[in-house]
A and B are shown apart, each in its own frame.
Chain A
Amino acid sequence: MAAPVSDVTPKPAAGGRASSAPLLGRDTEPTLFELSQPGRRSWQLRTTGIPEMALEDLVPETHRRHAAPKLAEVSERDLVGHFTRLSHRQFSVDLGAYPLGSCTMKYNPKVCDAVAALPGLADVHPAAPASCTQGWLQLLVELEQQLCEVTGMAAATLQPAAGAAGELTGLLLMRAWHQAHGQTRHKIVIPDSAHGTNPASVTLGGYEVVTVRSDARGCVDLAALKAVLDDDVAGIMLTNPNTLGLFEEDISAIAAAVHEVGGLLYYDGANLNAIVGVVRPGDMGFDIVHLNLHKTFATPHGGGGPGAGPVAVSERLVPYLPGPRPALLEDGAGSRYGWTTTPESIGRVHSWHGNALVLARALTYLLVHGGDGLRQVAQLAVLNANWLRTRLSGTFDVPYDRPCMHECVLSASSLKKSSGVKALDVAKRLLEEGFHSPTVYFPLIVDEALMLEPTETESLQTLEALADAMEKIAAEAVLPGGAEYAAEAPHGTPVRRVDEARAARALVPTFDARP
């Protein structure tokens, strides 16, 4: 059905609105397998001059495939056309604003890509002797030092490949710490607003989850926390600011209470962008911190990864860090970079040294910003979020109406009651207004949650355009036909609303499984 009000030319928005993105028609893109033509090929390989022995003379019959694995047979031109067209069916930060709460989808500076493409970094074999990797080792040591200053910690491992890997590493550090002190503890406390990775990591760390509720202000209920603390609690995992975008003001009291029973505090760094350069997890009393370099430090998210999830720890936990760790080693002849492992180390958590090229991007970002620049990142991220929260507070519910940090959680609860338009519909409508959706239905403790994280790299004009769009969506929702129109959104995207239930019910996980 038609839009209830006619579209007008959107106001110019510096940077972030993508509603002008051109698309040629709305046909389905065939798969690589449907583009395939027998006998066609792209590959070209070096001339080696090596004698051309047959496979039969190289590999015994028991180990040989009887036929080559059937892949796709396309020309280079087919390949380029296909993946370029797929890229045109994909929203990205480069295309427009991506206010996806909890994900910190800020602009990724291109200089970081240029650094990661340097042959002196990209073509180094991870098992090359240290004599060949002095630059890489220095890079990693300097990144570790900068991350320690940012977090207020003593040392860090750069191995974890993503935030969840960092969480599990942190939990194993807790386990090693308690075991070294002759204790086996079983419980980890997590607030009800936590990211899902926290409880999932707790299970893999061999612990049980104890959930502590949030109070009316959206923060950890201190009394409820104290009620569950005992000497079987290994530690607590907290995000601060929490997933409601609110700063846990009682953090010092929380830290004291957890330390009182011999527990450790784990800082989930997913929301560090709010406070970088302003307040440090170490100064709040945390013992273990993971960082999401693909969030705060702008390493691009790649459609779902790669990330990097370094874990920094306070002095007393340093011996347990995963090894080997890069270090500047001194000997009689002077100093050179090499690898060290402590006897107490929990061991490796990655095949090699972590997502190294992601780490190089993060150091570049840190160098370009410096201490003051990082502080400004947090300030402007928080400014943008509060501007958006205040501007939209007359249109959507604000369940926790107090200043937020880098993201704000709104609710479509009243809108749903008045019009039938749900948070999901608002999200889908926003797509056709030229913005990526906010995170919806998270945190779980907010009904019809809409979680917006504009980040510091979006302009005031983009925020205004985003707010205009949100207000337009709400205003149209209550018009005749408005709810139906919203329920059918999006209308102009490469595909319309996708049948998720069918995907799960009649699973087609590969092209070959198609009915």
Chain B
Amino acid sequence: MSGYSPHTDAEVASMLGFLGLSSLDDLFEVVPEALRLARGLDLPDGMPEPDAFAYLDDLARANRPAGRDLVCFAGGGAYDHEVPPVTRALASRSEFVTSYTPYQPEVAQGVLQAVFEFQTLVARLTGMEVANASLYDGAAATVEGVNLGVAATGRNVVWVSRGLNPTWRQVLATFGAGTGHQLVDVPLENGTTMWEAAAGGDGPGVVLVAYPNFLGCLEDLAGARAVCDRTGAMLVVAFDPIAAGVLRSPADWGADVVVGEGQALGMPLGFGGPYLGLFACGLAQVRRLPGRLVGETVDAEGRRAYVSTLRAREQDIRREKATSNVCTNQTLMAVTAAIQLGWLGTSGIAEVALRSARGAQYCRTRMLDLPGVEPLATAPVLREFAVRLPKPAPVVIERLVDEGFLAGIALDEGYTSGGDDGLLVAVTERRTRVEIDGFVDALSKALR
């Protein structure tokens, strides 16, 4: 018997007797004999927990995690920000970890209130009126933002800035095969989107831009807003929640929908997941909002209470006419983000963004002093920036791994007009001067 099923042999026998059966196999008599797996699963025998843990620990030891032995300068949507013990401790409380979707609000006020607070915090960061209870990740939020914009405008042409994270762009294309959206790529020049270069059919229903963009550059979103005003398109802005601590909010720039990746709000790098898709919009679009939304109400005694609301948008009620198919989302990550934002507070979020910007500036200046290292763009940046190296970036990254640094992400050819020399470098508030100096020295050696 597995260690997690409590049944004793005697209990199994008595339960079978109660059902008038003689063996556990009898429970499956409804399954046609020919379909039953007589041989059993061809899997190894179950291991005792300590052995399984040791096996997984061996696999973990075959990785090189970010840390003192591999100082992280990689970003691209996954950042090495501080996650304090208090966030880890609260977010791992089993009441949050082992509960289901809050279908019975009377016994789910804990998750519901935490999500309500998360929605409020995301609304305040973006400047938007309403935020949902989370989506899977930045890419999924982007897909949903585009779907909302297409539904609202009735036009399926989407102008996509090349400054959008390229993997999110790929996910958008994958799901666009089903929805039939026409994606029109708008190129970058010197790190910012050339909206005048866009040309696509009858004009866009959605204009999609990232702030900061994938290359770390800060674009003047007035240009994108002007395109929307001229064409009637909706402006979807992919924002960064840490950068939002010091940057003009997407709402201030005139965004209609704001999407983003929330990993930086207390989630570990985790090899890419589980992360947190952020989604916010104006109240005018709330009936098109994808996924769950928590609202405040009262209970039968008039006390404040929280509940999932506007449920008629959702798949379990609306079925094929739902605004989205999302059911399971990333609630635990939303709760984690609420805790982390509570820890950061008003001053902390700005401080993390400022310190990251200082580190990036210091690191960029030192790197550009190296012979043959050139900026890929001169547009202003915050925490992340792109350079061209005198050697192929993948080779340099491997060399620096040997020196104890994760140098960044090799840019694909779309960003370097064909070269493999583009490197995207991120500097968070966790990087010290000693680490950055060591990194630049190692890079200098690798480029020699």
Contact = CB atoms under 8 A, between A and B. Distances in A.
A396 interface: no
Interface in B376-418: 380, 382, 394, 397-398, 401, 406, 409
A23 B189 CA distance: 60
A66 B102 CA distance: 38
A352 B328 contact: no
Interface stretch (A258-266, A361-369, A468-476, A477-485): A361-369
Interface stretch (A4-12, A84-92, A225-233, A310-318): A84-92
Given A58-B357, A79-B339, A119-B67, 19 more contacts: A53-B361, A64-B246, A88-B110, A105-B100, A115-B56, A115-B60, A120-B65, A124-B66, A165-B140, A278-B28, A279-B31, A298-B4, A371-B41, A371-B43, A372-B41, A498-B298, A509-B286, A509-B294, A510-B129
A355 to B, nearest CB: 4
Interface string B33-71: 011110011111111110011011111111111110010
B296 A514 contact: yes
A46 interface: yes
B100 A206 contact: no
Contact of B293 (A124, A351, A509): A509
Contact of A111 (B49, B84, B273): B49
B369 interface: no
Interface string B105-132: 1111111011111011101110001110
Contacts of B324: 200, 204
Contacts of A58: 354, 357-358, 361, 382
Contacts of B244: 65, 69
B448 interface: no
Contact of B52 (A59, A368, A377, A386): A368
B359 A358 contact: no
B41 to A, nearest CB: 3
B171 A348 contact: yes
Interface string B239-258: 00000111111001000000
A29 B434 CA distance: 45
Contacts of A447: none
Nearest to A304: B331
B177 A346 contact: yes
A384 to B, nearest CB: 8
- Pick the most buried of B63, B137, B332: most chain A CB atoms within 10 A of its CB: B63
Contacts, number: 747
Residues of B in contact with A, size category: 35 or more
Nearest to B326: A164
B272 A510 contact: no
B195 interface: no
A131 B398 CA distance: 8
B357 A377 contact: no
Interface string A443-475: 000000000000011111000000000000000
Interface stretch (B202-210, B224-232, B424-432, B439-447): B424-432
A412 B45 CA distance: 43
B35 A49 contact: no
Contacts of B121: 71-72
Given A50-B436, A69-B124, A119 B65 contact: yes
Interface in B315-349: 315-322, 324-333, 335, 338-339, 341-349
A108 B97 contact: yes
Given A86-B109, A90-B96, A134-B63, A196 B295 contact: no
28 contacts: A42-B342, A49-B434, A50-B432, A58-B357, A70-B346, A80-B90, A84-B93, A127-B74, A127-B78, A146-B43, A150-B41, A206-B178, A249-B32, A252-B32, A278-B28, A306-B274, A351-B165, A352-B271, A356-B270, A357-B271, A371-B46, A372-B40, A383-B16, A383-B24, A387-B19, A456-B4, A500-B311, A503-B297
